[in-house]
Amino acid sequence: MIRPRWRLRGAVLMAMILALPALLRPAQADDRLHTAWTSQRVLNAVTVADDGRVFVSFPYWGGGGAGPTVAEIDRNGQPHAFPDVRWNHPDGTKGNLAPFVRVNAIRMGPDGLLWVVDSGDANVGGAASPASGAPARLLAFDITTGGVVHALSLRAASTPHSYMDDIRFHNDTIFVTDAGDPALVVVNLRTGQQRRVLSHDRSTTDERPMYAEGRLLRVHDQPVRIHADQLEVSPDGQKLYFQPSSGPMWVAPTAALENPALSPADLSHSVSVFYDTPTTGGTAIDGDGNLYVSDVNRLRILRITPQGKATTLVRDKRLVWADAMWIDNHGTLWIPAVQLNRTATFQPDGVSRLHLPVAIYTMDLHLKPVR
């Protein structure tokens, strides 16, 4: 028999649980999430061509066996090295057309090319890159022929602690985030000019702790620092949103970033806080200017309007470190949940807590894509 005082305590406890904010309760499964693909290897990005071809990338810090660094997923769900096996088999050679070294991002560009960010011989937050090591590169492939259309070394814009992270486009300009040595890199595709901007600015520097699944992220007993990471260009091309992985998100006029005559101080003054984002794995933006931001601590995706108003799009226990997202030309949101925080690198004892397979989920939202 339950005694009255225990009934009372139980009732009080239940009332307290029910009063907890929804964000603090365990995330449940959301039936709007559909499993598009699963992998025994950790991936970190997905991008979909307008003809429906699906490409993924596997970072060097992943696990689950050997395989290609960049792959196309066929209609039967099988990965195939893209553009071929040679590109996906490091051989120690250097040069713009050498095989991939450490791919960190892939993305279908507005030109219909598959762009690859290869960080070269660099570790985010690690030791200085060797002077004789492979530099970071931007590579663009014709997905029909597999041929290289652009191969741009980023050595001129790199420092010994650079880790070139992600990429976005605006006309002839390519924006790249440097997550190792905080900055944005502005590349003029027409002239080849490269400039580091907002170097060690408050907007590109990770200055606060990162949390995932309720735990402080640490490496070698030190808090993790991932500097300028996520970025998105507004549909009208006038704004660049960007942030360190810890947040917050900042916004700057693309015209200011693209103006080499603007002083560093004036450029910094043109930047403002857009939204106080949480620790983030990946982002996307739709044609109406709404941003989609993963909250890796509370296992959810935020939708943030151009006016800076945020709502929770989806919250699900499977969204463990949702990384680089994509909106395809059918308006479907693709979400790779890659469990980065569970990899051995981020475990105090160096033992992986991955629950394989990792998965890519989709949500049929009928969004307006940006091209």
pLDDT tens digit sequence for 140-184:
999 999 999 999 999 999 999 999 999 999 999 999 999 999 999
Which of 10-24, 28-42, 52-66, 117-131 has the largest mean confidence?
Answer: 28-42
pLDDT reported for residue 122: 86
pLDDT in tens, 311-332: 999 999 999 999 999 999 999 9
Task: Give the least confident one: 89-93, 197-201, 215-219, 265-269.
Answer: 89-93
* Beta carbons of 295 and 276 less than 8 angstroms apart: no
Has residue 355 been placed in a domain? no
The model's pLDDT over 327-358, given as tens digits with 9 standing for 90+, comes to 999 999 999 999 999 999 899 888 999 999 99
d(CA 42, CA 4): 52
Q: How confident is the model at residue 91 (pLDDT cuts 50, 70, 90)?
A: confident
Domain assignment present for 266? yes
The answer on pLDDT for 58 being more than 70 is yes
Cα distance between residue 35 and residue 360, in whole Å: 6
pTM above 0.85, yes or no: yes
Q: What is the mean pLDDT of residues 20-34?
A: 69
Give the pair of three-digit tokens for residue 222: 């030190």
When mean pLDDT is compared across 55-64, 85-94, 149-158, 215-224, the lowest value belongs to 55-64
Q: Which two tokens stand for residue 88?
A: 């996906």
pLDDT of residue 7: 40
CATH number at residue 227: 2.120.10.30
Please answer whether residues 208 and 144 qualify as being in contact, where contact means their C-beta atoms are separated by less than 8 angstroms.
no
Residue 81 falls within a domain, yes or no?
yes
User: Looking at the predicted structure, is the pLDDT value of residue 15 above 70?
Assistant: no
The reply to whether 285 falls in a domain is: no
Query: What's the token pair of residue 170?
Result: 């605006």
Percent of the chain at pLDDT > 70 equals 91
For residue 127, the model assigns a pLDDT of 78
List Cβ neighbours of 132 (8 Å cut-off, separation of 6 or more). Answer: none
- Residues 188-236 have pLDDT tens digits of 999 999 999 999 999 999 999 999 999 999 998 889 999 999 999 999 9
What whole-number percentage of the chain has pLDDT above 90? 81
Give the mean pLDDT of the chain. 91
Asked whether 130 and 151 are in contact (CB, 8 A), the reply is no
In which band, very low, low, confident or very high, does the pLDDT at 29 lie, cut at 50, 70 and 90? confident
- Beta strand pairing status for 358-364 and 194-197? unpaired
Whether residue 24 has pLDDT greater than 70 = no
Residue 169 falls within a domain, yes or no?
Answer: yes
What is the C-alpha to C-alpha distance for residues 218 and 152, in angstroms, rounded to an integer?
A: 33
Q: How many domains does the chain have?
A: 1
Angstrom distance (rounded) from CA 89 to CA 100: 7
Assess if residue 370 is contained within a domain: no
Q: Is residue 233 part of a domain?
A: yes
Give 95-145 pLDDT, tens digit per residue: 899 999 999 999 999 999 999 999 999 877 777 888 888 999 999 999 999
pLDDT grade for 16, boundaries at 50, 70 and 90: very low
- pLDDT of amino acid 348: 87
Domain holding 140, by residue range, is 44-279
**358: in domain:** no
